[in-house]
Amino acid sequence: MAQVQRMSRLMIKTLRDDPADAETLNHKLLVRAGYVRRTAAGLWSWLPLGKKVLENVSRVVREEMDAIGGQEVLLPALLPKEPYEASGRYEEYGDLLFRLRDRKGAEYLLGPTHEEIFTQVVKDMCSSYKDLPVILYQIQTKYRDEARPRAGVLRGREFQMKDSYSFDTTDEGLAESYQLHRAAYIRIFERLGLDHRIVSAVSGAMGGSASEEFLAPAPAGEDTFVDCPNCDYAANTEAVTYAAAPAGTPAAGPVEELDTPDTPTIEALAGFLGVPASATLKNLLVKVDGEIVAVGVPGDREVDLGKLGEHLAPAEVELVTAEDFVGRPDLVRGYVGPQGLEKVRYIADPRVAAGTSWITGANKEGVHAKNVVCGRDFEVDQYLDVVVVEAGDPCPRCGAGLQVDRAIEIGHIFQLGRKYADIFSLDVLGRQGKPVRVTMGSYGIGVSRAVAALAEQTADDKGLCWPREVAPADVHVVAAGKALQTELALDVSEKLGAAGVRVIVDDRAGVSPGVKFTDAELIGVPKILVAGRRSAEGVLELKDRRTGEREELTVEEALARLTDQG
């Protein structure tokens, strides 16, 4: 017996127009179709149909996590600050963390993620290698104080997430747990009907070694990734890496200074000298934990500050300000060059290879220098991939031109290693009777983000178009309006429900057939069954929401077809 939801009683209000503040497809359609309601900036109420979709996604996640031996738990969302102070993340999260005090003055936080707490749970519960390996997971509300919540449920301050953690005594065991999760994630996203890519990623503040993201390509995505049309290489743009080129033999003459008045920008300099921007060396000054650092990239490329921050995490990276030049005569704003810099660490992109010659600042107002050769006139302290990746850049694996696309991050898996085990001294008694340090993996799926990603990927010009696995019902029965049609629609709906088919039936009185048809397409259930003009003959019209294909069926045929679809 499945639920029959009558729209005459269902708490739903559809809208003809997009919300004024909606920018993305999922935001527009989930609100218009009555799935969610905005409570405050970044906070959303899940209405009856939306809650069903959210729970269907959670069900698929649970089934696949259980299938790999995962054990579900539920940890608090309100957490003490001490474990996060111990890991350093109480400070690292900065303004993203919701912090609060209880009536006694004790400090707490709303959990953005739970590595620290899971580590403590296992430390308390597991004492021997015989207790491991273990995989624990939860589907829990997480909190991050986003500065600019946007895109509906895609980027909120409160969101639903599945986070799981594996605990093993060996690196080989961690690798196995990682692969179990990777395979489970593939099954989850295939069942959900999400087009996705698995890409190499950076671990960032999470720590650890191996890291991969699961991305759902969509124009609304905030992640950018590259893939190669010639091989299977794919990576988040922040994880694209190139090896430094082998040192070349300088072909340039000695350094020569050039008067270049009023050319503090690459565009102005290239125009003044009549050279391409790629011939110039751009030197961006940043502060890394307060220390001024110069970052060198070819003049036709931009520094990816997010990528730089990931490379240097957990250090804080920020741009210099005018005040930072005070008392530093060696730093001439707009005319910085790596040659002659004093007490400034120099980081460069691999394109600034030994033997390459550049036009760059001469560290004098209104003056640049040419024939400045890397390895001869200046040294690079550290090579990091820090440029914004562009379409056509060579694939690090095969050299073909890369494609750049936008996507929504729907999952992320990490081999954390022993970072948190070291912090909390998570040891178990090993086979040889000696303490063994546990190694961990961390694996996340954005449950509410998956709903948004599905809306983005599957919607059409008429509305939402859910895959059956996650849809709030299997069939949307529409009574065109007359009493006979409504009676038939309700009768068929009850029979479908008795056969285990989930049904929404539009039995609203005083609502025109046109509005009902429009709402059925907007709500996006896979099948639409209409009791219309041939109801007196016992004939219904069945429409496939995705393909638009229609066919007329007798009541018996419709019941047989819909009860045999799964």
pLDDT for 126-145, tens place per residue? 999 999 999 999 999 999 99
Reply yes or no on whether the pLDDT at 489 is more than 60. Answer: yes
Distance CA 263, CA 272 (A): 8
> 5 - beta bridge partners?
504
| 248: confidence class by pLDDT, cuts 50, 70, 90 | low
pTM of the model: 0.86
Reply yes or no on whether the pLDDT at 26 is more than 80. Answer: yes
- pLDDT at position 552 is 93
Distance CA 229, CA 247 (A): 30
pLDDT mean across residues, the chain? 92
- pLDDT at position 246 is 63
Reply yes or no on whether the pLDDT at 23 is more than 80. Answer: yes
Top mean pLDDT of 94-103, 180-189, 296-305 is at 180-189
Reply yes or no on whether the pLDDT at 251 is more than 70. Answer: no
Closest to 178 in 3D by CA, of 425, 398, 443, 373 = 443
Q: What is the pLDDT of residues 288-315, one digit of tens each?
A: 998 999 999 999 999 999 888 888 887 8
Q: What is the pLDDT of residues 378-433, one digit of tens each?
A: 999 999 988 988 899 888 888 899 999 999 999 999 999 999 999 999 999 999 99
147-156, 273-282, 344-353, 485-494 — which is least confidently predicted? Answer: 147-156
> 214 - beta bridge partners?
198, 411
Average pLDDT in the 437-462 region?
A: 96
Sign of CA dihedral 176, 225, 214, 138: positive
396, with CB counted inside 10 A (0-12, 13-18, 19+), is middle
Reply yes or no on whether the pLDDT at 208 is more than 70. Answer: no
Indicate the residue type of 107. Answer: E
- For 285-351, the three-class secondary structure string (H helix, E strand, C coil) is EEEECCEEEEEEEECCCCECHHHHHHHHCCCCEEECCHHHHCCCCCCCCCCCCCCCCCCCEEEECCC
- pLDDT at position 46 is 97
Reply yes or no on whether the pLDDT at 204 is more than 70. Answer: no
In sequence order, which residues have a C-beta less than 8 Å from that of residue 483 and are 6 or more positions away?
none
CA angle 131, 136, 142 (to 5 degrees): 150
Distance CA 349, CA 179 (A): 33
94-98, 199-203, 391-395 — which is least confidently predicted? Answer: 199-203
| Size of the chain in residues | 566
> 99 - beta bridge partners?
109
| 250: confidence class by pLDDT, cuts 50, 70, 90 | low
- CA distances from residue 386 to 132, 206, 298 in whole angstroms, order as listed: 40, 20, 11
- CA distances from residue 494 to 161, 480, 491, 517 in whole angstroms, order as listed: 35, 17, 5, 20
Reply yes or no on whether the pLDDT at 565 is more than 90. Answer: no
Q: Is 502 helix (H, G, I), strand (E, B) or coil?
A: coil
9-23, 98-112, 225-239 — which is least confidently predicted? Answer: 225-239
Residues 421 and 119: beta-carbon distance below 8 Å: yes
Sign of CA dihedral 297, 303, 304, 309: positive
